[in-house]
A = this chain, B = another copy of it.
């Protein structure tokens, strides 16, 4: 992997493209620390060009910054290379609208998530982005199952497969397994489908990982690195309400304090997610009232009223959506994103080198 992202170090630490939250500041901080930061293009991609411009400005003139020197080899005038990734919710986002931005900015990677119907819907995304950037923007595809991974590899030939387990916060498949069985089974499948190492996609594990122990575990399972979302929500670089961050720090026992549901979308008038998906968030009044039989219409009204409470609207007695993974209980401080990257990487290395290990 490192040759595609020469500023990075192993294990690869990636910040997830969390809609509305993962903006250039967070992505750049993660890439600067030797990870790969993602900007969320999210449901729409109207401001993607501005976001990449902002990322470039944040990177420029700063010592110890990932190299932006290597340029795209397309014939477009003045192509750049921005060492961050961009994530799309593909059932909603527009490929055509964003293609010129790829040509102009050439982000390091594009992360394709949640096609409207079938993974084949992603073929044009992969082909046209490759074409627009002469292959410089690497294609990452997120999956949550083994058959899906095989389908993606056979049709899209991605550079990276993001394997998301059902511990993950925010949107993912409503049903499935954790990374514990998923990563090794997908790894075996890739060995079978792509016997040549050069053509084999790398695997990044996502879901439930909050500290260096999770990173080390993912490596032991066969991943080349990890994607973390919830952990980076607790960084000053995340675009996130203080009430949201406080609720994350207060939460523990994530298997109990979070839940997978679609009500957190519905109260915010977000519609259109393919049926197989829902989102994991901290349990709050929106959820308990929903379970208690409150109508969606009334729940939405109460949600809108709650918005006026600002930071007070978060937490178990609040109503505002607080997406978080089951690893939320391991997050006990707000830390700079770059420090998070380094501590995950250094800690995982220590574990894998045996320093923490039970004597065998």
Per-residue contact bits, chain A 152-190, to B (CB 8 Å; 1 contact, 0 not):
000000000000011100000101111111111100100
For A165, the closest partner residue in chain B by CB is: B178
> How far is B258's CA from A176's CA once the two chains are assembled, in angstroms?
8
Per-residue contact bits, chain A 87-114, to B (CB 8 Å; 1 contact, 0 not):
0000000000000000000000000000
> How far is B222's CA from A22's CA once the two chains are assembled, in angstroms?
30
Q: Which of A144, A220, A352, A359 has the most CB of B within 10 A?
A: A220
Using a CB-CB cutoff of 8 Å, which residues 334-359 of chain A contact chain B? 349, 351-354, 357-359
Per-residue contact bits, chain A 197-209, to B (CB 8 Å; 1 contact, 0 not):
0000000000111
Q: Are B329 and A181 in contact, CB atoms less than 8 angstroms apart?
A: yes
Q: Are A185 and B353 in contact, CB atoms less than 8 angstroms apart?
A: no
- Please choose the segment from A59-67, A210-218, A237-245 that sits at the chain B interface, where 4 or more of its residues have CB less than 8 A away: A210-218
A327 at the interface (CB under 8 A from B): yes
> How far is B220's CA from A258's CA once the two chains are assembled, in angstroms?
24
> How far is B328's CA from A182's CA once the two chains are assembled, in angstroms?
10
14 contacts between A and B (CB under 8 A): A10-B360, A146-B253, A177-B208, A180-B209, A180-B217, A181-B254, A181-B255, A183-B213, A185-B327, A188-B330, A216-B220, A217-B217, A352-B357, A354-B354
